[in-house]
């Protein structure tokens, strides 16, 4: 009996770690919003876009931002404007060499406060995730101004973070490979998913194609439920799983692009920034597969493997349907 419970416990933990947080608008993880921060010698423009996870009264948000955001340039405070808007202009002294931005909104929004920010300036760009544990971002303008060709690399960790907090993407990936199969079939499944979401990620991020976010979120939830349902009948599912992976991967690509659409791509390095973001997503995806695969291969050798897969697939199917209803009907 302990041997029977061990794989079930491992996979239940994996499902809980990925499925439960997704109930709170998974693409941004626990993100309160996105921020686009434009830096110059004399000012810092901070533009905030709240996500569905922002729980406070949005009418109070402009005042909250001005109370709990602070900007310094070379150690001297920059004064925010007094407008009632989500775009704040901080006036600083000239010839700034280092800009520091601090976000202490967690004091009023709680420990789950999390803002994904993109800093851009004439010399390049970098990303930062503001949270209760990382409230401060420092941008040394003079040290980085001559390194424009490497600034696009800052989008790599942004891509890794997006897949790491994209619990619905990870859950979809896990149910895709849950039924196992040969190494060749697994490679086909992962490759199809990668090619598909890379295509639509690039098209959406560059503004070539656009779909309503409510529709994208709903179909992503439905994809989880559908693949989990297929896992209940693996004999018919595995042979064509790579096609399902490709078709739903096209929709997941639009979901991956949500961060880039919110914060934008630097005009002087759009292609390189997009490439680095996509590589970050792929790296995070690869790590997730490598973590799950050994347990999956071990489970396939057990006589009770099919029963465990069916139980887990049924659980994930219910989660996917719940997300679908939440995102489409309650949107």
Quick check: 264 pLDDT over 80?
no
Quick check: 325 pLDDT over 80?
yes
Residue (of 143, 142, 48, 32) closest to 87 by Cα position: 48
Quick check: 167 pLDDT over 50?
yes
Which strand (E) or helix (H) includes residue 160?
Answer: helix 155-165
Tokens 């619905």 correspond to what residue?
Answer: 168
Structure confidence at residue 323 (pLDDT): 87
Structure confidence at residue 303 (pLDDT): 85
Backbone angles phi, psi at 207, to 5 degrees: 80, 15
Sign of CA dihedral 220, 224, 230, 234: positive
Structure confidence at residue 56 (pLDDT): 67
Least confident of 92-96, 166-170, 321-325: 92-96
Q: Which pLDDT tens digit goes with each residue over 276-299?
A: 888 888 888 888 888 888 888 788
Length of the chain: 331
Q: What pTM does this model have?
A: 0.63
Which strand (E) or helix (H) includes residue 297?
Answer: helix 270-300
Quick check: 210 pLDDT over 70?
yes
Residue (of 11, 44, 29) closest to 120 by Cα position: 44
Structure-token pair, residue 197: 């979401």
pLDDT band at residue 113 under the 50/70/90 scheme:
confident
Residues 74, 54: contact at Cβ < 8 Å?
Answer: no
Structure-token pair, residue 103: 């976000």
Average pLDDT over residues 145-155: 53
Structure confidence at residue 79 (pLDDT): 92
Mean pLDDT of the chain: 78
Structure confidence at residue 23 (pLDDT): 36
Residue (of 98, 34, 31) closest to 71 by Cα position: 98
Average pLDDT over residues 105-120: 83
Q: What is the DSSP letter of 11?
A: H
Structure confidence at residue 144 (pLDDT): 42
pLDDT band at residue 52 under the 50/70/90 scheme:
low
Backbone angles phi, psi at 39, to 5 degrees: -105, 145
Average pLDDT over residues 187-193: 87
Quick check: 1 pLDDT over 60?
no
CA-CA distances (angstroms) from residue 182 to 67, 301, 318? Answer: 57, 13, 27
Structure confidence at residue 14 (pLDDT): 42
Pairwise CA distance, residues 81 & 97, whole Å: 22
């Amino acid at each position: 009996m302990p041997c029977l419970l061990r794989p079930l416990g491992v996979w239940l933990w994996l499902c809980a770690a990925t499925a439960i947080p997704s109930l709170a608008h998974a693409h941004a993880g626990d993100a309160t919003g996105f921020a686009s921060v434009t830096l110059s010698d004399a000012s810092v423009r901070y533009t905030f876009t709240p996500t569905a996870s922002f729980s406070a009264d949005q009418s109070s948000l402009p005042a909250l931002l001005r109370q709990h955001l602070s900007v310094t340039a070379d150690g001297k405070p920059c004064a925010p404007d007094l407008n009632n808007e989500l775009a704040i202009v901080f006036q600083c002294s000239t010839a700034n060499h280092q800009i520091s931005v601090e976000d202490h909104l967690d004091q009023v929004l709680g420990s789950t406060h999390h803002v994904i920010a993109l800093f851009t300036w004439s010399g390049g760009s970098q990303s930062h995730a503001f949270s209760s544990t990382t409230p401060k971002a420092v941008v040394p303008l003079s040290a980085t101004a001559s390194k424009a060709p490497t600034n696009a690399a800052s989008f790599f960790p942004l891509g890794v973070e997006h897949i790491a907090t994209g619990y619905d993407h990870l859950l979809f990936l896990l149910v895709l490979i849950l039924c196992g199969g040969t190494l060749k079939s697994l490679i086909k499944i992962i490759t199809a998913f990668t090619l598909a979401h890379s295509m639509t990620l690039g098209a959406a991020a560059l503004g070539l194609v656009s779909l309503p976010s409510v529709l994208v979120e709903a179909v992503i939830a439905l994809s989880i439920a559908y693949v989990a349902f297929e896992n209940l009948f693996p004999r018919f599912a595995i042979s064509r799983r790579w096609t399902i992976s490709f078709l739903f991967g096209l929709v997941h690509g639009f979901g991956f692009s949500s961060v880039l659409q919110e914060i934008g791509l630097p005009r002087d390095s759009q292609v390189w920034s997009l490439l680095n973001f996509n590589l970050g997503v792929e790296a995070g995806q690869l790590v997730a597969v490598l973590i799950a695969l050994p347990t999956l291969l071990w489970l396939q050798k057990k006589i009770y493997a099919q029963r465990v897969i069916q139980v887990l697939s049924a659980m994930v199917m219910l989660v996917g349907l719940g997300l679908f209803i939440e995102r489409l009907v309650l949107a």
